[in-house]
Chain A
Amino acid sequence: MSNLRQKILILYLADSALDSKVIGWTMYDGTRRESHNTGDSDKPPYTTGLEALQAGWRAIQFSQLTPPYPGTEFSTSFYKYEIIFEQLEEVHG
């Protein structure tokens, strides 16, 4: 088994541009070095999605831009602009 483990950072942005403001964030750490859970921070790790790229995170998924289903044009639900990033880190032992 590889010694590489994935760290996941999910950023929710104010619009579809990667350099727009972060409004929400989530982290999962496959190396077990860090633990994150709901409500554990009041400050985003990065101000924008672009900042995460510049810090070395690889963007692996962007939410698609889809028109609203007919009849739901005015309803709100999940965050629309979700970007998933990863980093691979080596673990020992």
Chain B
Amino acid sequence: MVDKTHLLNSRQMASFAARGFLRFDGLIPSELNERAMREIDGDVPSAPAGTPLSRCYPPPSALGEILRSPEIAGIIYSLVGPDPLFDHQYVHVREPNQDAAQHLHGDSTIDLRMHFDMQLMYFPHAVPLEMGGTLLVPGSHFRRINESDIGRYQNIVGQIPMVCPAGTILVLHHGIWHCGRQNKTNQKRYMFKVRLNPTVRQMRLWNTDDLDASVGQQHPIFSKETPTDDIQAILGNIEPWFEGGNGRLEILNRIKFWRFLTGDDNFDAHYWLTRLENMPEKRVTE
């Protein structure tokens, strides 16, 4: 069992639900990064898709040490629960002095599930801006696109290039739009990715001690009384690239996702879904 103190909290989960990612800069210590870098630069043994993660990366393995560390185990448990399956791994290498970046894409195929896979990206060395870094588009995970359909989109307001210190961990919802930015340095850039599938219903797997009834309590809308930093506010935050109309639909997507994650079918943020669900059938009698 994972130590509860290493699980994500509800605010972190709400941020993941809203933006589709969480980053943990410099989480892995330098000694372990150096050993992992040597593995990544060599040949990392893989496993058949669908293998329990617990059977992958057996000791001695620096990558296995990272995935089994209390902090990472807590993140994995919070998102995909106990006994996740290894889907695949990939060592991403961006060659020095590249002419171009990878096209923006979503991994795998169009995927309509509310259940989600997590993608863990590990950056074993520091990534400055000129080296590129993985580019991600926060809040893009609910968009129904198929792989590189979106290759035409070069730049999006609010996009995040992963400029980070060594030992940074990025966890993504499988639907997040991303790509490898151009590496303009004379050094190779490495990133190790592993995709994990859940084997349990993804509901309240994180530390829910901070999740009480007040989370779904409605407040005046467009008012000074509206809390600006609670779960509802996190789910209602607008990304700078959201279109006026579709941005509101993204908030609906987030609320539905939060209902899925919490099992609370009555939860709402700022009344967005309640309004649409209000279809009274009560007849007025004379």
Contacts and interface: CB of A to CB of B under 8 A. Distances in A.
Interface stretch (B9-17, B100-108, B258-266, B278-286): B100-108
B286 to A, nearest CB: 37
B156 interface: yes
Given A39-B101, A40-B101, A76 B182 contact: no
A26 B243 contact: no
B159 A42 contact: yes
Contact of B104 (A13, A23, A38, A74): A38
A36 interface: yes
Given A39-B181, A74-B252, A76-B142, 15 more contacts: A23-B157, A23-B243, A24-B154, A38-B102, A38-B103, A38-B155, A38-B179, A39-B154, A44-B155, A44-B157, A74-B253, A76-B144, A76-B246, A76-B250, A79-B153
A3 B11 CA distance: 58
Contacts of A41: 155
Most chain A C-beta atoms within 10 Å of own C-beta, residue among B150, B153, B154 = B154
Nearest to A44: B157
Judged by DSSP, the binding face of B is loop
Most chain B C-beta atoms within 10 Å of own C-beta, residue among A14, A35, A81 = A14
Interface in B109-145: 132, 135, 142-145
Top 6 closest A-B pairs, CB basis?
A39-B135, A38-B101, A26-B154, A24-B156, A39-B181, A23-B241
A83 to B, nearest CB: 13
B182 A39 contact: yes
Contacts of B181: 38-40
A61 B226 CA distance: 42
A37 interface: yes
Interface of A: 10, 12-15, 20, 22-27, 35-42, 44, 74-81
A75 B141 CA distance: 12
B200 interface: no
A37 B144 contact: no
A19 B283 CA distance: 47
Contacts of B240: 23
Contacts of A81: 243
Given A74-B249, A74-B252, A78-B150, A39 B161 contact: yes
Nearest to B249: A76
Most chain B C-beta atoms within 10 Å of own C-beta, residue among A38, A76, A80 = A38
Contact of A25 (B100, B145, B155, B161): B155
10 contacts: A23-B156, A24-B155, A25-B155, A35-B99, A38-B101, A40-B155, A44-B155, A75-B249, A77-B143, A80-B243
